[in-house]
């Protein structure tokens, strides 16, 4: 099954590659032992677009596209954030390009929250408890927490990972589709696609 590990591992560690200038985003995805499960990369970045990122914050108003690949480099998910004016919307597609659902920003002040939508209904949410500390709670439609994103996790192998460059996605129980894909997409897109909307929020 393609990208099985990405969708079955209860713990995903996302390594934010450190660069002198963050012009192109690419993050590695690992399990808790350091085994590589895949990667997230920003695609469709032109030279002019990279220059724009360097000199201004206008980049947040442009369309962003992220590609999630498995350990073999095969596509697993695609996240597209269309150009926005106010609230963010992220369209999530599967490996075949079929729409899985959407992640929709629900408010513009206070702690930013996003709804997870599929098939015309809200099936979950991302609640930003603290952007600076990287505390996010992901819930199902009943409001029960199904996953959590944090910078610190006691089980992390200190010899393999450093807190500075990684964040941890803990998925509490097996989830049915499309919620599982939307949870994974939320967790992997939280930095590049979502966090840009929360500058100054905490």
Span 94-113, pLDDT tens digits: 999 999 999 998 887 777 78
pTM: 0.81
What pLDDT sits at residue 195? 60
Q: Over 90: is that where the pLDDT of 24 sits?
A: no
What pLDDT sits at residue 42? 80
Are 114 and 104 in contact by the 8 Å Cβ rule? The answer is: yes
Question: Could you tell me which residues come within 8 angstroms of residue 181 by beta carbon, excluding any fewer than 6 positions away?
Answer: 7, 77, 92, 94, 100, 101
What pLDDT sits at residue 106? 87
pLDDT band for position 15 (50/70/90)? confident
Q: Pinpoint the alpha helices (H) of the chain.
A: 4-8, 47-55, 179-189
The CATH number of domain 4-198 is 2.40.160.200: yes
**Cβ of 102: how many Cβ atoms within 10 Å?**
18
More confident residue, 16 or 1: 16
Q: Over 70: is that where the pLDDT of 148 sits?
A: yes
Are 197 and 61 in contact by the 8 Å Cβ rule? The answer is: no
What pLDDT sits at residue 183? 95
What pLDDT sits at residue 142? 96
What pLDDT sits at residue 69? 93
Both tokens of 140, joined, read 């199902």
């Amino acid at each position: 099954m393609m990208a099985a590990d990405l969708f079955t591992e209860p713990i995903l560690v996302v390594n934010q590659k450190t660069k002198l200038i963050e012009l192109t985003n690419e993050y590695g995805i690992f399990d808790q032992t350091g085994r590589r499960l895949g990667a997230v990369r920003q695609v469709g970045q032109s030279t002019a677009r990279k220059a724009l990122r360097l000199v201004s914050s206008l980049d947040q108003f442009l369309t962003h596209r992220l590609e999630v690949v498995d350990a073999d480099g095969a596509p697993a998910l695609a996240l597209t954030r269309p150009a926005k004016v106010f609230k963010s919307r992220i369209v999530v597609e599967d490996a075949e390009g079929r729409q899985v659902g959407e992640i929709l920003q629900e408010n513009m002040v206070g702690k930013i929250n996003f709804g997870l939508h599929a098939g015309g209904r809200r099936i979950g949410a991302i609640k930003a408890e603290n952007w600076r500390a990287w505390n996010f709670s992901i819930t199902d439609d009943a409001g029960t927490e199904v996953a959590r994103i944090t910078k610190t996790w006691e089980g992390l192998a200190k010899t393999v990972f450093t807190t500075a460059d990684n964040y941890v996605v803990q998925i509490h129980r097996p989830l049915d589709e499309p919620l599982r894909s939307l949870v994974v997409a939320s967790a992997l897109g939280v930095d590049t696609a979502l966090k840009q909307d929360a500058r100054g929020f905490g």
